Structure 1
Amino acid sequence: MTFYMERLESLFDRPDVVGIALFAGALLAGLVVQRLVFRSLTYLVSDKDLVWRSIVSRTRRPSQLAVLALALVIASSLAPLSARQADVVQHLLTVCLILLAGWVARTAINIWLVLYLRRFKLDAEDNLLARKHVTQTRILQRVANVLIVAIVVSWVMMTCEPIRQYGVSLLASAGAAGLVAGLALQPVLKNLFAGIQLAITQPIRIDDALLVEGEWGRVEEITSTYVVLKIWDWRRLVLPLSYFIEKPFQNWTRETASLIGSVTIFLDFTIPVQAVREKVEEIAAASPLWDRQVVNVAVVDFREEVMEIRILVSASDAGRAFDLRCEVREKLIDHIRETFPQALPRTRAEVAAVPERRSA
């Protein structure tokens, strides 16, 4: 027994063992206190507002990191450490505090985003306002997350003397290293600033109907660097954010989802236009796709053999407008084929009688 006591006393005479023991004890005590405090706060905010419940539930991991940093402070102040050991502990403590600050910042942004977007429903029939706010907040969230990560990484690098200049260059974009990094990251930074501009001006939003590069589709996702367009046949068109700042495109739902669909038909001059107009109005009135706003029939051009009739019908969104145009075409051509078959396009020819030649 005396032998083991002597061995134990010899271990405690070593500074490194004392430091480890103090750190382990401080960490264990801190985790116990943190768990008790977290449970108490969870119970206290159980009947409070959703904001407080979200803050408490999302700060569990950051609070554990804070306990780790506090244990390092207590252990370093009590343990008999050398100057180098104290510097290492101090450096680890600084890194932990920086990571904790970045973690808390991202957590606060995520909580704000979730609670802010709870007021808007993308599946509503009139979701223009919801698409506007969802697009803006998601782009700003991604930009903010990128900036937080960049600041945290540069800050951590600045705490290490060998790579301090790289951290300063990354944070302030100064010096030769900053210029090299700026040139290398030019596409990333270009899309980053394009994302900020998109969030402010909002030429596109989530679920907008776009015509881009000859393809029609809806905006499915907007990230910090690219936009995913879900095309009508379920393909995905991926474009950089800068594309929507530098190049023209069609946005069919910029202010409202309602669209006017156009149907063009070529008929013979003998067709009574009023009869066509009445039939188109009848087809639109009977269709659940028509939004009761616009229906119009007009002769817009004459050609050598036919006249061009343009039909306009409106619908509440692009998909309904496309289906309504198809329905008008099908029912109108059936009606013309049954009622005015002679009015379908045809080629005219005039046959002239040749005078008979008299025999000599």
Structure 2
Amino acid sequence: MESYLWTIVIALGAAAVALVVVELVHRIVRRLGRRSVLLAELSEHSHRPFQVAATVVAVNFGIRFSTGYGVGTHWRQTLLHLLVLAVIATIAWLVASLLLVTEDTALARFRIDVPDNRQARRIRTQIVMLRRITIAVTVVLTVGVMLMTFPEVRGVGASVLASAGVIGAIAALAAQSVLGNVFAGVQLAFSDAVRLDDVVVVEGEWGRIEELTLSYVVVQIWDDRRLILPTSYFTTKPFQNWTRTQAAVLGTAEFEVDWSVDVQAMREELRRLVEGTELWDGRTCVLQVTDAVGGMVRLRALVSAGDAPRLWDLRCLVREHLVGWLRDQRPTALPRLRTEVGDASGRLPWQWAPPSAPTPGPSGGQPAGRRTTAHEPPDDARLFGGDDDGEARSSAFLGPDEPAEAPPR
């Protein structure tokens, strides 16, 4: 009985000393953490695991060196085995917390709430994936070390290792899809194909990458729905990434109008509109006639914005404003189907009038007043030329109407 009481007193004393030492260390680290982000994270997130681990280790050593091998051998061995398991678990908890503190410190250096955050989002994606991998590896190693403390498990280990090849092959076949998603998640994290907060178009839906794990990816759709896809989807199927290199994007607004539309006046109105809104980033403002068949003229307004949400609002603003401008300022340019009855002597803008005979020029040749030079479109009528941005775009992309070169004979 005296031996038991002495063991309890030693264990409690060791625990008390450990708690006092941990508290002193915690106060010092917290004071130093006012100047260091790493120490501040340590004092906040690793205090509790350090406290528990130090206490369990102190109790283990106290019981181990306070009892003799001849007194209470059975309960002593059982208690020491339980304490060893607790030491392994608490040390693993402490190591995991230190890894999390290191990753949180690294994440704090890369902010994503800034306009140019592509590099920060890439690094945050890799750090988050590394965090999940390290936690999984730590848990697996901890469970393995705890099992190896049992003699029965160590005896079975030799036969397990002998049949590891067969078991590995069977497990690989059974978990093929799971392992495929895991490797796809690692590939996504380090290939820079997709990152957290990227704007993507998948399955016909437009949204942002909200969460990226080893097995699945969560896409937050623009209407706050969530599209959950396996990570292997992004390595086996095509998808659009609007922020792969930069957040700035281009968008269009198309109009079908009558042939009597004044394209230049509409182009100038578009320019006045975008220059008066903060949604436009000042890069591209182009209005072009993209089609003129079937009795209608199709106009395409191409504008640019700093990111996809601003572009959406800008496209809607362009449509709303130009629709109102056509209705109020150019009603004859509204789309219509013509049916002419009677003679063609009318002079209304939408009525056809026979052309007058050309007036001969002074030399009897070319009619007077006719220009001999080709009309040069303004800069905002061209997408692949006219300014530095257009010339750069032309050098990178020739356009859909670029004629293909004839094969050599």
What's the TM-score once normalised by structure 1's chain length?
0.83
Count of matched residue positions in the alignment of Structure 1 and Structure 2: 337
Note the C-alpha offset of 1:311: 1.0
User: Residue in 2 aligned with 1:358?
Assistant: none
Root-mean-square deviation (Å): 2.9
Query: Does 2:328 match 1:338?
Result: yes
Query: Does 2:118 match 1:102?
Result: no
Q: Distance in 2 between matches of 1:117 and 1:199?
A: 15
User: Residue in 2 aligned with 1:252?
Assistant: 242
Q: Distance in 1 between matches of 2:90 and 2:126?
A: 27
- 1:67-93 CA-to-partner distances (Å, cap 9, x unmatched) read 323433442342335665565455434
Query: Does 2:8 match 1:24?
Result: yes
- 1:97-124 CA-to-partner distances (Å, cap 9, x unmatched) read 4323422321111111221122233333
User: Residue in 1 aligned with 2:180?
Assistant: 190
Residues 130-149 of structure 1 aligned to structure 2 (within 5 Å): 130-149=120-139
Query: Aligned in 2, Cα 1:113/1:199: closer, same or farther, shift over 3 Å?
Result: same
Q: Amino acid of the residue matched to residue 41 of structure 2?
A: S
Q: Distance in 1 between matches of 2:163 and 2:202?
A: 35
Q: Distance in 1 between matches of 2:159 and 2:217?
A: 30
Q: Amino acid of the residue matched to residue 111 of structure 2?
A: K
Q: Distance in 1 between matches of 2:329 and 2:116?
A: 40
User: Residue in 1 aligned with 2:214?
Assistant: 224
Deviating more after overlay: 48-57 vs 101-110: 48-57
> Of 279, 286, 293, which residue of structure 1 is paired with 2:269?
279
Residues 9-158 of structure 1 aligned to structure 2 (within 5 Å): 11-12=1-2, 18=3, 20-48=4-32, 49-57=36-44, 58-77=46-65, 78-79=67-68, 80-81=70-71, 87-89=77-79, 91-158=81-148
Q: Distance in 2 between matches of 1:169 and 1:229?
A: 45
- 1:119-149 CA-to-partner distances (Å, cap 9, x unmatched) read 2333333333332222221111111111111
Query: Aligned in 2, Cα 1:94/1:46: closer, same or farther, shift over 3 Å?
Result: closer
Q: Distance in 2 between matches of 1:165 and 1:186?
A: 30
**Kept after mapping to 2: 8 A contact 1:298/1:311:** yes
Q: Distance in 2 between matches of 1:278 and 1:171?
A: 77
Query: Aligned in 2, Cα 1:209/1:277: closer, same or farther, shift over 3 Å?
Result: same
Provide the identity percentage: 36
User: Residue in 2 aligned with 1:303?
Assistant: 293
Query: Does 2:316 match 1:326?
Result: yes
Deviating more after overlay: 111-120 vs 317-326: 111-120
Deviating more after overlay: 179-188 vs 97-106: 179-188
SS in 2 for 1:36: helix
**Kept after mapping to 2: 8 A contact 1:210/1:252:** yes
SS in 1 for 2:338: coil
Q: Amino acid of the residue matched to residue 226 of structure 1?
A: Y
**Kept after mapping to 2: 8 A contact 1:154/1:171:** no
Query: Aligned in 2, Cα 1:168/1:283: closer, same or farther, shift over 3 Å?
Result: farther
- 1:135-181 CA-to-partner distances (Å, cap 9, x unmatched) read 22111111111111122222222333444588789999924444444
- 1:230-281 CA-to-partner distances (Å, cap 9, x unmatched) read 1111111111222212221111111211111111111222212111111111
Q: Distance in 2 between matches of 1:187 and 1:86?
A: 47
Query: Aligned in 2, Cα 1:349/1:167: closer, same or farther, shift over 3 Å?
Result: farther
Query: Aligned in 2, Cα 1:293/1:53: closer, same or farther, shift over 3 Å?
Result: closer
Q: Amino acid of the residue matched to residue 51 of structure 1?
A: L
Q: Amino acid of the residue matched to residue 202 of structure 1?
A: D
Q: Distance in 2 between matches of 1:246 and 1:323?
A: 32
Q: Distance in 2 between matches of 1:192 and 1:128?
A: 24
Deviating more after overlay: 94-103 vs 190-199: 94-103
Q: Amino acid of the residue matched to residue 256 of structure 1?
A: Q
User: Residue in 1 aligned with 2:391?
Assistant: none
Q: Distance in 2 between matches of 1:104 and 1:33?
A: 19
Deviating more after overlay: 145-154 vs 86-95: 86-95
Note the C-alpha offset of 1:352: 9.1
**Kept after mapping to 1: 8 A contact 2:22/2:54:** no
Deviating more after overlay: 32-41 vs 122-131: 122-131
Q: Amino acid of the residue matched to residue 69 of structure 1?
A: V
Note the C-alpha offset of 1:325: 0.6
Note the C-alpha offset of 1:187: 3.5
Q: Distance in 2 between matches of 1:198 and 1:42?
A: 39
Relative to its length, the structure with more helix (as a share) is 1
Q: Distance in 2 between matches of 1:92 and 1:51?
A: 34
Note the C-alpha offset of 1:28: 0.9
Query: Aligned in 2, Cα 1:328/1:188: closer, same or farther, shift over 3 Å?
Result: same
What's the TM-score once normalised by structure 2's chain length?
0.74
Note the C-alpha offset of 1:340: 2.0
Q: Amino acid of the residue matched to residue 55 of structure 1?
A: L
- Unmatched runs of 5 consecutive residues or more in structure 1: 1-10, 13-17, 354-360
User: Residue in 2 aligned with 1:315?
Assistant: 305
Query: Aligned in 2, Cα 1:298/1:155: closer, same or farther, shift over 3 Å?
Result: same
**Kept after mapping to 2: 8 A contact 1:173/1:179:** no
